[in-house]
Structure 1
């Protein structure tokens, strides 16, 4: 199978000259050939070459124009000059872009940094503990007035957080979650029955610190917690109300009453800024060091293992008792013993008592009558 040779076309500049000599615009040529104006412009600049039926139609049009055109170049019309200027500007822009590409090297793209490796649960827990534990121990000390209880409350809160880490890790405020658990544990009324917390701890050595801590401990637990969260931690009123599980008006009233009670005992602390500074100083005077994160995780895991084993042992004991009861229980129904019924025709049972006259006569006759057989041996007294 042979291919038809392509129809010859004049050079690009000759194509444009023939069109201009025939007083035709690029739009008119595009209409005649059946293409767009941009395609005709590309043909005349030499960027593209027509093919197939478009090439034959374009060659036929150029041939007809070359037959009608005089050898002398006619004066270009107003439309031709406009197109020539547009074509020149376009070629200049293209040449400038090519030169710029050759002259100025393109900057190399920055190397793609690999995404950071995600933290393991233990690393995330240790980071949260290192960030929150020191300040949380000092806050709990102001809340309870006991150093050992403050450390125990924070460690217990983080142990519970480690047990429920999938829940805490996705919480909107993990620090607030741990703080709420630590405060609840520190304010539990059951600590008063523990032997180690029956007697108060020695107060701070400075009189001013001792007076402030005493005034704080005289406040009700709910007032003390609200004051610590708002003036000590710096939470907003809405966040304070949410953490104390109270309404916003109730939290505002507790805060006002707590400030009034402190100002009545310590007038110099009526300013909230001064109160916050003094609470920070009191909390920083004692040596309140929290345990290391691995220790807290290890103790929490041991506690979990202990209670898990205790639950398993209790369950096994219940199953054993149930099995024993099933084995020794009767396998058939035994009806209960019915109540006694009265039987007729049985002579009444006589009880021992005085002999009747007939019985007395019978007894005398038996004693005096002769009996057969050997004589009765009677013992002789000496």
Structure 2
């Protein structure tokens, strides 16, 4: 613990670069440090940080990988000396024999260029196809264990990669592109809206083997959050903080979900109480099903078609909204016309029993009404005096 502040670890990108410069795989680094390969991958992606003795061992290994870097410095000054000698010799120009001298010295320069040229960056299409070829087969099997439906598993993976292709500038710079696609596929596969679709109302045929059928049935009886946590921890092999981060839950909540899921499976299938046996059985059940994902070009073409469809739909909706607004503005009235007030009964007028001359009271009332008559509805409201 006293060495960690004195010799801090490099950044996650530098850790991966040092491992690749030493021609080591994540499994080899994990074997030397004494951890799992997934833990080394999480260290290189920056999701977790080593602590204690593992940190010291990891720091010593990275420091040993940094040692060859200063040894690669001698080839650099050689081309520098050549570049300095070249402008000096044309200045003098007294001897024609100076021309053949740079020839042997310039030989190391083309030898040093090919050492850096093989690391050419991949195009977006090549990078996407490589990610798809690496992740899609395993993701389809995992989605099948989550849903129990083969067609839904393939559809979930295709939709996840279609969304990744639409957001490729964001996914390409993500710390863990495979984790991004896996989280998207899990979200789509476990969506509760699939039960409303007619094609998914009836269950699919279960696995032919009785043991595989019992395990899949026990998995599908678990709640969706518990099933996903169990799949990530015991199926994929992520550690607890990574599982909590991918499921967007706290670490204690993730631990409780994992414990409850294991207890429920052990209650139905006691032979799966051991986590190692459970991990092996999950891999066996997923491997027995012949689940094949689509080709990467088909996924990319489907993603581009979907993006064009929704873009055109948004443009059409916007045009319709603009046309409706213009029509409303065109046909709307420009001034306000108040409604005509309903008629009201006038109180205090004595009924005429028979034709004849008006009495004094009737004459006075008539004059009063004639004098107070206006052009509006106020004529029906007598004024109090």
TM-score range, shorter chain: 0.5 to 0.7
1:337 — aligned with what?
340
Q: CA deviation at 1:239?
A: 0.3
Alpha-carbon distance in 1 for matches of 2:113, 2:313: 53
Q: CA deviation at 1:333?
A: 2.8
1:292 — aligned with what?
295
Q: Which of 1 and 2 has greater Rg?
A: 1
Q: Which of 226, 249, 254 pairs up with 1:251?
A: 254
Change (3 A) 1:150 1:349: farther
2:362 — aligned with what?
none
Alpha-carbon distance in 2 for matches of 1:135, 1:316: 44
Alpha-carbon distance in 2 for matches of 1:225, 1:344: 80
2:134 — aligned with what?
131
Change (3 A) 1:263 1:349: farther
1:277 — aligned with what?
280
Q: Which of 211, 214, 233 pairs up with 2:214?
A: 211
Q: Unmatched 5+ residue regions in structure 1?
A: 1-104, 351-382
Question: Size of the alignment, in residue pairs?
Answer: 246
Provide the TM-score with structure 2 as the length reference.
0.60
Alpha-carbon distance in 1 for matches of 2:334, 2:193: 49
1:153 — aligned with what?
156
Please report the RMSD computed on the Cα atoms of aligned residues, expressed in angstroms: 2.2
Structure 1 window deviating more from structure 2 (121-130 vs 147-156): it is 121-130
- Cα shift readout 1:178-222 (whole Å, capped 9, x = no counterpart): 000100100011111111100111110001101111111111111
Q: CA deviation at 1:347?
A: 10
Q: Unmatched 5+ residue regions in structure 2?
A: 1-103, 354-385
Alpha-carbon distance in 2 for matches of 1:268, 1:170: 43
SS in 2 for 1:246: coil
SS in 2 for 1:111: helix
Alpha-carbon distance in 2 for matches of 1:121, 1:324: 46
Is residue 180 of structure 2 the alignment partner of residue 189 of structure 1?
Answer: no
SS in 1 for 2:152: helix
Alpha-carbon distance in 1 for matches of 2:338, 2:223: 64
Change (3 A) 1:251 1:344: closer
Provide the TM-score with structure 1 as the length reference.
0.61
Change (3 A) 1:289 1:340: same
Change (3 A) 1:151 1:346: same
